[in-house]
């Protein structure tokens, strides 16, 4: 575990390019405090998903340093990368649920991958499904779920391993406004329980509902706006 006062994510002069002509990030520096809540905003194509992929260690920067939970990710081995990824949860706009598994099985999958037996996690999964409002859908497969239900299942799957940081990439992009507000409420409640949350969105209506830090990505650079101060 990192020190309680240490940033969960820190970018220091980070650059990211796709080929010689497409510069996505230019000398980006910022920190995400522990237990914080922030929106990652910016126009479509600005690089929000690329920034999230850098945090998830599925991309490497061309230059600069990234620290996760106090660890310099450029100086650690494969086992440490796996350990850091397990301290994070991710929610994608396109859900990424497995259609051949039930809602319960999709949510439990990260724990099965860790080698845990079902007896050790069944009550935990059921409690979490109740919390996101899917207690009545445990046996249904994703094709039978609505868009909002699929997104809540994806949120539950991201939470089941009790991550210290949740990254949500356009989590309300495929749902109607009332469901978007309900999903946002889940993230706010999660943050109140101590998890750091980053929500990437281009939906301005979400920004008006929560007083939170904004990381605005545009022109390859990130400006940090903090209305809570």
pLDDT at position 227, please?
Answer: 76
Q: How many CA atoms lie within 13 A of 229 on its CB side?
A: 5
pLDDT truncated to tens, each residue of the chain (229 aa)? 445 568 999 999 999 998 877 889 999 999 999 999 999 999 888 899 999 999 999 999 999 999 999 999 989 888 899 899 999 999 988 889 999 999 999 999 999 998 899 999 999 999 999 999 999 999 999 999 999 999 999 999 999 988 999 999 988 887 888 888 888 998 999 999 999 999 999 888 888 888 899 999 999 999 998 877 6
pLDDT at position 30, please?
Answer: 95
User: Which ranges in 87-202 belong to alpha helices (H)?
Assistant: 103-113, 118-131, 147-159, 177-192
Q: Are 216 and 42 in contact (CB under 8 A)?
A: yes
pLDDT at position 4, please?
Answer: 55
pLDDT at position 3, please?
Answer: 52
Q: Are 148 and 175 in contact (CB under 8 A)?
A: yes
Q: Are 201 and 41 in contact (CB under 8 A)?
A: yes
pLDDT at position 1, please?
Answer: 45
Torsion sign (Cα): 1, 97, 217, 20: positive
């Amino acid at each position: 575990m990192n020190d309680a006062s240490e940033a969960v994510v820190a970018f220091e002069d980070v650059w990211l390019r796709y080929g010689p002509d497409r510069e996505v990030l230019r000398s980006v520096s910022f920190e995400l405090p522990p237990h914080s809540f922030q929106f990652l905003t910016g126009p479509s194509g600005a690089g929000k998903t690329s920034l999230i992929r850098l945090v998830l260690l599925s991309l490497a920067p061309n230059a600069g340093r990234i620290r996760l939970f106090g660890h310099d990710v450029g100086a650690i081995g494969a086992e440490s990368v796996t350990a850091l990824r397990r301290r994070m949860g991710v929610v994608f706009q396109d859900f990424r649920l497995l259609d051949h598994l039930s809602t319960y099985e999709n949510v439990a999958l990260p724990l099965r991958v860790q080698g845990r037996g079902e007896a050790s996690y069944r009550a935990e999964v059921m409690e979490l499904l109740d919390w996101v409002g899917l207690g009545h859908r445990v046996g249904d497969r994703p094709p039978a779920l609505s868009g909002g239900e699929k997104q809540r299942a994806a949120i539950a799957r991201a939470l089941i391993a009790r991550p210290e940081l949740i990254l949500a990439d356009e989590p309300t992009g495929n749902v109607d406004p009332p469901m978007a507000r309900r999903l946002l409420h889940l993230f706010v409640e999660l943050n109140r329980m101590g998890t750091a949350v980053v929500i990437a969105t281009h939906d301005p209506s979400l920004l008006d509902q929560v007083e939170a830090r904004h990381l605005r990505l545009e022109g390859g650079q990130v400006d940090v706006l903090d209305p809570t101060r």
